[in-house]
Amino acid sequence: AACGNSDTGDAGNDGKIVLGFSQVGAESGWRTANTTSIKESAAAAGIELKFDDAQQKQENQIKAIRNFIQQKVDVIAFSPVVESGWDTVLKEAKDADIPVILTDRSVDSADKSLYKTFIGSDFVKEGRLAGEWLVEQKKGASGPVNIVELQGTTGSAPANDRKKGFAEATAANPNLKIIASQSGDFTRAGGKQVMEQFLKANPKIDVLFAHNDDMGLGALEAITAAGKVPGKDITIITIDAVKDGMQALADGKFNFIAECSPLLGPQLMDLAKKAHDGEQVAPRIETEETTFTQDQAKAALPNRKY
Ligand code: GYE
């Protein structure tokens, strides 16, 4: 696949760079938009993409990466479902001289030489922005404000980091109390099911913080079924800002969203080319994002791409 060097992996691919990508799964609207971005960008950049969907299982990702190594792809990129447990397989890629690009989520490996770069969001910041908005909203509260939290996939970087950022920000007001926090695995079904339990166990819930739009959307069903009005009886804060989430925000069912951009494809292809050519790349590339109130969602919705 390489241009002119002694690579053996280029049979029948017209000299194209071959990129092996292991995706987390298809758990959310964010993930679907991310997959589309990667596939479209690869096609546009003339990169041959070998795409694998791991169905939210680390063992499947490790298997996919080993397959990519065996097939001698030029570059490997993946979005690690959880943060821990990657050292062995990353070492195998390094020994095979295949550069690895972490996409969207990072790993906790101490040896940073195991990957070229990490492109993605600052999840701690997203959690903090969500928390800061709530602190501002509730600054006049005279009594306790009960918060429930729907966490993302257990052990994933966005779940760990968003939880941390939100807890840090909301600590500014001792009235803000996180009374329950549990994983809904970043899915609508998970969000609905866990919210049902929260509502049963806690007579007074003032705020829901969901680590992504999809869990918030699932929770809407549970809240409505419990006879409460989402966005009014319960303030709802989420992360991502995919179209369905933005619609819920514009409709007054959500109250605030911290954006997390899934459109990582174009930059990833650029990095894959650079890594393949042995060019230096920055070790960390941070995605640019914003936040949305209900009015801002109304204004942004017509032009929202995903
Ligand atoms: O927020 C969530 C998805 O890793 C940033 O994964 C991503 C997260 C995103 O399932 O919706």
Q: What is the pLDDT of residues 13-59, one digit of tens each?
A: 678 999 999 999 999 999 999 999 999 999 999 999 999 999 999 99
pLDDT digits (tens, 9 = 90+) for 69-103: 999 999 999 999 999 999 999 999 999 999 999 99
CA distance 14 to 249: 47
pLDDT of 60 > 90? The answer is yes
CA 222 to centroid of ligand 1, rounded, Å: 22
Give the CA-trace dihedral at 87, 93, 95, 96, to 10 degrees: 170
Predicted confidence (pLDDT) per residue in 143-191, tens digit: 999 999 999 999 999 999 999 999 999 999 999 999 999 999 999 999 9
Percentage of residues in the chain having pLDDT higher than 90: 94
Compute the average pLDDT of residues 251-270: 98
Mean pLDDT calculated for residue range 99-120: 98
Burial class of 23 by CB neighbour count within 10 A (0 to 12, 13 to 18, 19+): buried
How are beta strands 256-259 and 291-292 bridged, if at all? antiparallel
Report the separation in Å between the CA atom of 8 and the middle of ligand 1, taken as the mean of its atom positions.
36
Prediction pTM value: 0.95
Q: How far apart are CA 3 and CA 286, in angstroms?
A: 30
Q: What is the dihedral of CA 252, 299, 162, 78, to 10 degrees?
A: 130
What local confidence, expressed as pLDDT, does residue 2 receive? 43
Atom of ligand 1 nearest to the CA of 157: 4
Question: Can you give the pLDDT at residue 209?
Answer: 99
Q: Which atom of ligand 1 is nearest to the CA of 242?
A: 11
CA 101 → CA 78, 85, 132, 247, distances in Å?
7, 16, 32, 33
Does residue 6 have a pLDDT over 60?
Answer: no
Residue 138, Cβ neighbours under 10 Å: how many? Answer: 17
219-235 pLDDT, tens digit per residue, is 999 999 999 999 999 99
* Predicted complex ipTM: 0.99
- For residue 105 and ligand 1, the question of a CB distance below 6 A is answered with yes
- In angstroms, what is the span from residue 1 Cα to ligand 1's centroid? 32
Ligand 1 neighbourhood includes 104 CB (under 6 angstroms): yes
Where does the pLDDT of residue 7 fall: very low under 50, low under 70, confident under 90, or very high at 90 and above? very low
Residues 6 or more apart whose CB falls under 8 angstroms from that of 155 comprise: 82, 83, 84
pLDDT for residue 13:
62
Contact in structure between 34 and 40 (CB atoms under 8 Å): no
Residue 186 in contact with ligand 1 by CB distance below 6 A: yes
pLDDT at 273 over 60: yes
Which atom in ligand 1 lies closest to the alpha carbon of residue 30? 11
Residue 305 — very low, low, confident or very high, per pLDDT cuts 50/70/90? confident
Q: How far apart are CA 174 and CA 199, in angstroms?
A: 23
Residue 231: its pLDDT value, please?
A: 98
First to last CA, the chain: 33
Atom of ligand 1 nearest to the CA of 212: 11
- Strand pairing partners for 49? 19
Predicted local confidence at residue 10, as pLDDT: 46
Orientation of helix 29-45 relative to helix 243-250, angle to 10° = 130
Nearest residue CA, atom 8 of ligand 1? 158
Contact 185 CB / ligand 1 (< 6 Å)? no
Asked if residue 3 has pLDDT above 70, the reply is no
Beta bridge partners of 117: 101
Nearest-10 crossing angle of helices 123-137, 157-170: 30
